[in-house]
Structure 1
Amino acid sequence: MDKEIELKLGIQDEQTMRALLSDDSILGNKARTIHLRATYYDTQDLLLANSRIGLRLRREDEDIVATLKYGGGVVDGLHTRIEINKKKDDFNLSLADFPKERGMLEEVLGSKELVPLIETDIFRHVRQIEYKDSVLECALDEGIVRANNRSVNIRELEVELIKGSIEALESFTKNELLDYHLVPEDLSKLARGIELVHMKS
């Protein structure tokens, strides 16, 4: 079980995105690119989402990873939550993937069936950086979220605290990102997908 702490920032235009990609203090030529294709699962009446739980399967290039996120909150784009990841051999989700949390999930779900509700298709440009005795991961995501026969484009920068202090994360944001005029983003990709689910035909 790990606590995820990350700052999510919206990128306003293509020019800013390209500048971030070429900035060696943030991404630059040391960044690698990963193709992420995820499916988020919930009941038709969103029992998991209403309990602030996210459950997904994701292809990360050739790997398959099941992820459970819950708890925490978000303030001014700073997201904190519990995150559990498990590598899998196939693209089939099971509550047994999360044995310690299975009871919690079964209590929330009751007799309701999990169904695939939201899909994302993202190219992630990612790099880890040592900064002020801490380790940060910068990830620029560009792609699309699909649900309910609708879609929304994604263009955002995530800065995750891998090891160290949240003060280092805040300092990096202030000193390295200020000139890019990025906007704190409180909505996760899952939350954007849920907005699409709620839209009427």
Structure 2
Amino acid sequence: MSIEREFKLALPPDRAEAADRFFTGVAGAPGRDVPLANIYFDTPSFALAGAKIALRLRKTPDGWLQTLKAAGTATGGMHSRHEWETAVAADALEFDALAAACDDEAALAALRAAAPALGERFRTTFVRRLWCLDFEGARIEAAIDRGDVTANANGQTRSEAISEIELELLEGDESALHALTEKLSAAVPGLAPENVNKAQRGYRLCAP
């Protein structure tokens, strides 16, 4: 189990170049683009969402990953939650591997109960521009995500644009994450804390 700690910031599209310049300046090198496609699963009655759990498959340039994220908190754009992730062979969930990785009994029980009725509910597709930063003694992954979240609801396709920044603490003290966020916000006006994650936005699109 790991605890994901990150800031999410809503990025106005016309500020994307300024954010890119900021991260390139801090890292001393341009970011690399990583295309990501994600499929989110739940039951028709959204049992996992009711248990505050998100389950997804992610296609990366290196292969497929499955991720289970449990209930967390989000305040002022700062997100903290437990997550379990394992590699899978293809675009299909592997419950035994996920169950072996998950050490939270409540999350595991909710997943097992929902398993027979799970199906695709929505997708997110975006390009992530990545930098790995050494900042004030910490390692922080900075990302600019731009793309779409799409869901089919009541026979209609609904979509919403994704344009946001994620700053994830990989190693070091959390104070460095706060300091980097403050420096970024000063350099790129118009950023705003984003307390709604991509999964929550997908569920919102699924609502009647």
Shift of 1:99: 2.1
Counterpart for residue 31 of structure 1: 31
Would you say 1:17 and 2:8 are equivalent positions?
Answer: no
Shift of 1:94: 2.7
Higher mean Cα deviation, 111-120 or 101-110? 101-110
Structure 2: how far apart are the matches of 1:8 and 1:70?
17
Shift of 1:12: 1.5
Structure 2: how far apart are the matches of 1:75 and 1:12?
20
Counterpart for residue 193 of structure 1: 202
Counterpart for residue 177 of structure 1: 185
Structure 2: how far apart are the matches of 1:176 and 1:183?
11
Would you say 1:47 and 2:47 are equivalent positions?
Answer: yes
Structure 2: how far apart are the matches of 1:113 and 1:26?
46
In structure 1, give the amino acid aligned to 2:78.
Answer: L
Deviations 1:64-121 (A, max 9, x none): 1111111221111110011111111111113212124386456325365100001011
In structure 2, give the amino acid aligned to 1:22.
Answer: R
In structure 2, give the amino acid aligned to 1:107.
Answer: A
SS at match of 1:177: helix
Shift of 1:179: 3.0
Once superposed, what is the RMSD of the aligned Cα atoms?
Answer: 1.8
Structure 2: how far apart are the matches of 1:154 and 1:97?
30
Normalising by structure 2, we get a TM-score of 0.88
Counterpart for residue 172 of structure 2: 164
Higher mean Cα deviation, 159-168 or 22-31? 22-31
Structure 2: how far apart are the matches of 1:61 and 1:136?
21
Counterpart for residue 82 of structure 1: 82
SS at match of 2:12: coil
SS at match of 2:16: helix
In structure 1, give the amino acid aligned to 2:21.
Answer: S
Counterpart for residue 126 of structure 2: 122
Would you say 1:134 and 2:138 are equivalent positions?
Answer: yes
1:95–1:105 Cα contact (<8 Å) kept: no
Structure 2: how far apart are the matches of 1:79 and 1:25?
25
Higher mean Cα deviation, 82-91 or 34-43? 82-91
SS at match of 1:18: helix
Counterpart for residue 70 of structure 1: 70
Aligned residues: 198
Residue ranges of structure 2 left out of the alignment (5+ in a row):
none
2:78–2:195 Cα contact (<8 Å) kept: yes
Structure 1: how far apart are the matches of 2:86 and 2:10?
28
In structure 2, give the amino acid aligned to 1:20.
Answer: A
2:64–2:90 Cα contact (<8 Å) kept: yes
2:70–2:107 Cα contact (<8 Å) kept: no
Shift of 1:28: 7.1
Structure 2: how far apart are the matches of 1:82 and 1:26?
29
- Identical-residue share of aligned pairs (%): 29
- Bigger helix share: 2
